[in-house]
């Protein structure tokens, strides 16, 4: 079994496969520890998956938070994580630390690791027989009976295999960096829903500050875009401006360190995610929340689901169907709502009204945080599923449609 990409999705898949008795090779383009562009936030859903992987002792040593401090349009709301079937706390950890911890779990389970970039493949029909790998030692070939592709949002191997990103629905552009902070141990993650550029214009996105409990915070900005309403913004300049607006409140020092930007396909807006013996997971499969750009929990979950499925045989139809079963309705309605937020003038009009309703914002936190699980049967969960099913029927291209 070959897993390409050792981020949360790939490493989780490798762990579950190795624990199930499979011979697993985990390939990543870079030596560890290595960084990735990310907000570093761990939702309660991500914490639950890390617990299932046996990483509870590790999570206890990371930054922990009790919910979201939402600010904007003259209001500040403290919104605890809703709990229910999920833990009542979230966390945060740099990707250099998080990815290494999950990869170590995979190696402890018996997976083997290799550094190299997947640059090609050989196939028979839709079945991949081998992958060409480029590393410091030159080019080589790895044969595989099964293949999991978890090489991130750009998914170079996925594109070679035929993955297409359809940009008719909302997608995300984001940038993040790190700054020393006197409030690095703050117990709340913060989102500023009134994100303004240097000219004072309200953007269709948000800024965030996630305490890391190591003397620093992850600070970032993200905006939504569609083909009709593209994001015309200099992300690094916007990040520097946002950091300046938060400098006094968060006791920030210096200039933004390690700024990094990313472009995110979201809400299953990709096709070509599986073949006879291969499949795409995590960001590579467009498993990113359209309302907040979060993808770690989806990566961990799809890694587990892929490991459970791969030994069953032909996955060409089974994998897209499984993704739609777990995420299709939620992604459909979420990306529809995200598209609305890109309409000029909507957020400045609706934002002040929404922020004045604590009840509405509690529901928004639950939906935006991917905190409605399959086990939830309350009114909000039922309404979300009904809206999602109606949304799918209206989709010109439903999530993961060919």
For residues 253 and 385, state if they share a domain.
Answer: no
The DSSP code for 252 is: B
The number of distinct structural domains making up the chain is 2
Q: Which two tokens stand for residue 350?
A: 């609706």
Query: Is 191 inside any structural domain?
Result: yes
Among 157-166, 206-215, 297-306, 347-356, which is the least confidently predicted range? Answer: 347-356
Structural domain including 26 reads: 2-167+266-394
**DSSP three-state, residue 205:** strand
Share of the chain above pLDDT 90, in %: 79
Pairing of strands 189-192, 205-211: antiparallel
For residues 130 and 253, state if they share a domain.
Answer: no
pLDDT at 311 over 80: no
Query: Is 120 inside any structural domain?
Result: yes
For residues 97 and 58, state if they share a domain.
Answer: yes
Q: Which two tokens stand for residue 90?
A: 């979230």
Report the pLDDT value the prediction gives residue 348, as an integer from 0 to 100: 82
The predicted-structure confidence for 380-394, as pLDDT tens digits, reads as follows: 999 999 999 999 999
Average pLDDT, integer, range 65-92: 93
CB 183 within 8 A of CB 251: yes
Query: Is 249 inside any structural domain?
Result: yes
Average pLDDT, integer, range 50-56: 97
Among 100-104, 301-305, 306-310, 313-317, which is the least confidently predicted range? Answer: 313-317
Integer CA distances (angstroms), 387 to 321, 363, 384, 390, in order: 19, 14, 5, 5
pLDDT at 84 over 80: yes
The predicted-structure confidence for 158-183, as pLDDT tens digits, reads as follows: 999 999 999 888 899 999 999 999 99
Query: Is 402 inside any structural domain?
Result: no
pLDDT at 150 over 80: yes
Measured CA to CA, the distance from residue 343 to residue 362 in angstroms comes to: 24
What's the CATH number where 49 sits?
A: 3.50.50.60
pLDDT at 12 over 90: yes
pLDDT at 230 over 80: no
For residues 150 and 274, state if they share a domain.
Answer: yes
Residue 351 pLDDT level (bands cut at 50, 70, 90): confident
The per-residue b/e assignment along 179-216, b for 16 or more CB within 10 angstroms, e otherwise, is bebeebebebbbbbbbbbbeeeebbbbbbbbbbbbbeb
Phi, psi of 331 (to 5 degrees): -65, -40
The predicted-structure confidence for 26-48, as pLDDT tens digits, reads as follows: 999 999 999 999 999 999 999 99
Q: Whole-angstrom distance between the N-terminal and C-terminal Cα of the chain? A: 26
- Per DSSP, the chain holds a count of helices (H) and strands (E) of 12, 20
**DSSP three-state, residue 44:** helix
The DSSP code for 287 is: -
Bridge partner residues of 41 (DSSP) = 92
Peptide bond into 33 cis (omega under 30): yes
Report the pLDDT value the prediction gives residue 221, as an integer from 0 to 100: 96
DSSP E strands, 33-150: 41-42, 63-65, 67-72, 75-80, 90-92, 112-115, 117-124, 127-135, 138-143, 147-149
Residue 350 pLDDT level (bands cut at 50, 70, 90): confident
pLDDT at 294 over 90: yes
Measured CA to CA, the distance from residue 120 to residue 81 in angstroms comes to: 43
Average pLDDT, integer, range 261-286: 95
For residues 12 and 108, state if they share a domain.
Answer: yes
* Chain length of the chain: 402
DSSP E strands, 169-280: 171-180, 189-192, 205-211, 216-225, 257-264, 270-271, 278-280
Average pLDDT, integer, range 363-392: 88
Which of 264, 282, 306 lies at the terminal end of a domain, its last residue?
264
> How many Cβ atoms are within 10 Å of 258's Cβ, its own excluded?
12
For residues 19 and 153, state if they share a domain.
Answer: yes
Average pLDDT, integer, range 260-278: 94
Query: Is 47 inside any structural domain?
Result: yes
Instruction: Give the predicted TM-score (pTM) of the model.
Output: 0.95
Compute the mean pLDDT over every residue in the chain, rounded to the nearest whole number.
93
Report the pLDDT value the prediction gives residue 354, as an integer from 0 to 100: 84
Report the pLDDT value the prediction gives residue 119, as an integer from 0 to 100: 97
Which of 264, 280, 312 lies at the terminal end of a domain, its last residue?
264
């Amino acid at each position: 079994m070959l897993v390409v990409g050792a981020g949360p999705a790939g490493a989780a898949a490798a762990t579950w496969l190795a624990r199930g008795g499979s011979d697993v090779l985990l390939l990543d383009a870079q030596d560890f520890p290595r960084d990735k562009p990310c907000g570093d936030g761990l939702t309660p859903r991500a914490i639950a998956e890390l617990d299932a992987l046996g990483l509870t002792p590790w999570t206890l040593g990371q930054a922990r938070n009790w919910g979201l401090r939402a600010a904007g349009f003259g209001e500040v709301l403290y919104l605890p994580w809703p709990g229910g079937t999920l833990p009542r706390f979230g966390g945060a950890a740099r990707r250099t630390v998080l990815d290494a911890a999950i990869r170590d779990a995979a190696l402890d389970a018996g997976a083997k690791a290799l550094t190299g970039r997947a640059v090609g493949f050989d196939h028979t029909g839709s079945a991949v027989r081998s992958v060409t790998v480029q590393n410091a030692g030159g080019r080589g070939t790895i044969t595989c009976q099964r293949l999991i592709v978890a090489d991130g949002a750009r998914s170079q191997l996925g594109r070679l295999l035929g993955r297409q990103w359809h940009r008719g629905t909302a997608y995300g552009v984001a940038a993040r960096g790190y700054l020393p902070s006197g409030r690095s141990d703050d117990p709340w993650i913060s989102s500023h829903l009134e994100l303004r550029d240097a000219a004072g214009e309200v953007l269709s996105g948000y800024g965030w500050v996630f305490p890391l409990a190591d003397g620093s915070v992850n600070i970032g900005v993200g905006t939504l875009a569609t083909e009709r309403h593209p994001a015309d913004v200099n992300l690094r300049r916007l990040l520097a401006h946002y950091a300046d607006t938060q400098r006094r409140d968060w006791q920030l020092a210096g200039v933004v360190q390690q700024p990094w930007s990313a472009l995110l396909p979201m809400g299953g807006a990709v096709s070509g995610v599986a073949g006879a013996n291969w499949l795409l997971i995590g960001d590579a499969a467009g498993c990113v929340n359209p309302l907040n750009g979060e993808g770690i929990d989806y990566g961990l979950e799809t890694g587990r689901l892929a490991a459970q499925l791969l030994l069953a045989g032909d996955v060409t139809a089974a994998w897209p169907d499984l993704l739609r079963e777990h995420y299709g309705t939620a992604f459909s309605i979420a990306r529809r709502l995200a598209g609305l937020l890109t309409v000029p003038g909507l957020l400045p009009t609706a934002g002040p009204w929404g922020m004045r309703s604590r009840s509405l914002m509690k529901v928004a936190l639950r939906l935006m945080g991917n905190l409605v699980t399959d086990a939830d049967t309350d009114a909000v969960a039922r309404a979300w599923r009904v809206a999602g099913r109606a949304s799918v029927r209206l989709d010109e291209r439903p999530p993961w449609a060919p």
